[in-house]
Amino acid sequence: MSLSDKTVLVTGGTGSFGRAFANAALNIHGACRVIVLSRDELKQHEMRVAFGDDARLSFFIGDVRDAERLRRAFEARPDVVVHAAALKQVPACEYNPFEAIKTNVLGAQNVINAAIDTGVPKVIALSTDKAVNPINLYGATKLCAEKLFIQGNSYVGTRSTRFSCVRYGNVIGSRGSVVPVFLEQRAAGALSVTDERMTRFWLTLDQGVDFVIRSIERMKGGEVFIPRIPSMGLMDLAASIAPDCAVELTGIRPGEKLHECLMSADEGRHARAFDDFYVVLPEFHWWSDAEWDDGQPLPEGFSYTSDTNDAWLSHEDLQQLSPSPGK
């Protein structure tokens, strides 16, 4: 299914991903309507102004925690739902654990139920590398959300609704990314790095949006799609952004990993590799829709981690992906 002439609903649609996705869906992929569901009326107003009062863009005030309101929005009968709403800040989730559960886990359940009840054909949820072997609450809630979406296919019965997930790494320059922090610290002449050994996966917002759209087209239901993206060490990132600044090592923070993992070795046993992505297939005997005959099986024990990656960002690569860091 392409997005051409389709209606798409995006939860959390006023965030950086939602805005970029709406623009791509409407102006590149030919969607006839994008429905944004989010909690913040000011952000909705700002987005409406930025899009020039585009008649193809409509807004619902609502929260994924509110099952009744969510179902009302889904009665617009979208062809595709992209679930991007979440509490994403690791420290905030640690300090407000009940709230993280309500939004990231129970909110996911509400999206699944509303989609099944209203007959949405395709639903794809955004996840994160932190959902793999999680060590903080945010990652744990996203792992739960992934499990709900993948195993939620067991609830559809004879209906046509299908659920899949997309899992990717850090978005360069997004809110919560270290890049804006480094840019701000550069003016003071010193950058703070928690651990000099640290590595992370990186992609741009446009790459993330494009991968989600391609995953919607590919999905059969029950898959977790993972892009093949480059890594970069935090010290290399710091040197690219502020080569003349001192670096202060502050020590690793609670809930933080030295290296991120986008696919565990256990998942690798039932995954397939393609030129630009991996797909983790469901293991359950009762789910046969997601049969993939193409792609390559992965070697025994394979895991996809940021420190053992076969692709690395250079300073020049970073300049092309995000022109502002080196300036």
| Spatial distance between the Cα atoms of 183 and 192, rounded to a whole number of angstroms | 11
Instruction: Report residue 240's pLDDT band, with 50, 70 and 90 as the boundaries.
Output: confident
| Low-confidence winner among 110-119, 204-213, 223-232, 234-243 (lowest mean pLDDT) | 234-243
pLDDT for 1 equals: 75
| Spatial distance between the Cα atoms of 61 and 28, rounded to a whole number of angstroms | 26
Stretch 283-305: mean pLDDT: 83
Task: Evaluate if residue 212 carries a pLDDT over 80.
Answer: yes
* Mean pLDDT value across the chain: 92
Tokens of 163: 């659920």
**Active site (annotated) includes residue 130:** yes
239: which residues sit within 8 A by CB, 6+ positions away?
A: 315
294: which residues sit within 8 A by CB, 6+ positions away?
A: 272, 274
Backbone angles phi, psi at 113, to 5 degrees: -65, -45
Instruction: Report residue 284's pLDDT band, with 50, 70 and 90 as the boundaries.
Output: confident
118 in Cβ contact with 71 (< 8 Å): yes
| Spatial distance between the Cα atoms of 234 and 78, rounded to a whole number of angstroms | 41
Backbone angles phi, psi at 284, to 5 degrees: -80, 135
Model confidence pLDDT, tens digit, residues 173-192: 676 678 878 888 898 888 99
Task: Evaluate if residue 289 carries a pLDDT over 60.
Answer: no
Task: Evaluate if residue 131 carries a pLDDT over 80.
Answer: yes
**Which superfamily does 86-169+202-228+261-305 belong to?**
NAD(P)-binding Rossmann-like Domain (3.40.50.720)
| Spatial distance between the Cα atoms of 291 and 286, rounded to a whole number of angstroms | 12
pLDDT for 323 equals: 47
Residue with tokens 């990231």: 104
Instruction: Report residue 172's pLDDT band, with 50, 70 and 90 as the boundaries.
Output: confident
CA torsion angle 269 270 272 277 (round to 10): -90
Stretch 69-93: mean pLDDT: 96
pLDDT for 326 equals: 42
Between the alpha carbon of residue 34 and those of residues 21, 114, 123, 241, 254, the distances in Å are 9, 18, 14, 36, 38
pLDDT for 175 equals: 66
Model confidence pLDDT, tens digit, residues 104-116: 999 999 999 999 9
Model confidence pLDDT, tens digit, residues 140-165: 999 999 999 999 999 999 999 999 99
Model confidence pLDDT, tens digit, residues 2-59: 899 999 999 999 999 999 999 999 999 999 999 999 999 999 999 999 999 899 999 9
Stretch 65-90: mean pLDDT: 96
**Catalytic entry in 6, 88, 130, 220:** 130
DSSP state of 298: P
Query: How are strands ordered across the β-sheet holding 33-38?
Result: 57-61, 33-38, 7-11, 80-83, 122-128, 162-168, 224-227, 277-280, 271-273, 296-297
| Spatial distance between the Cα atoms of 229 and 214, rounded to a whole number of angstroms | 15
| pTM (2 d.p.) | 0.94
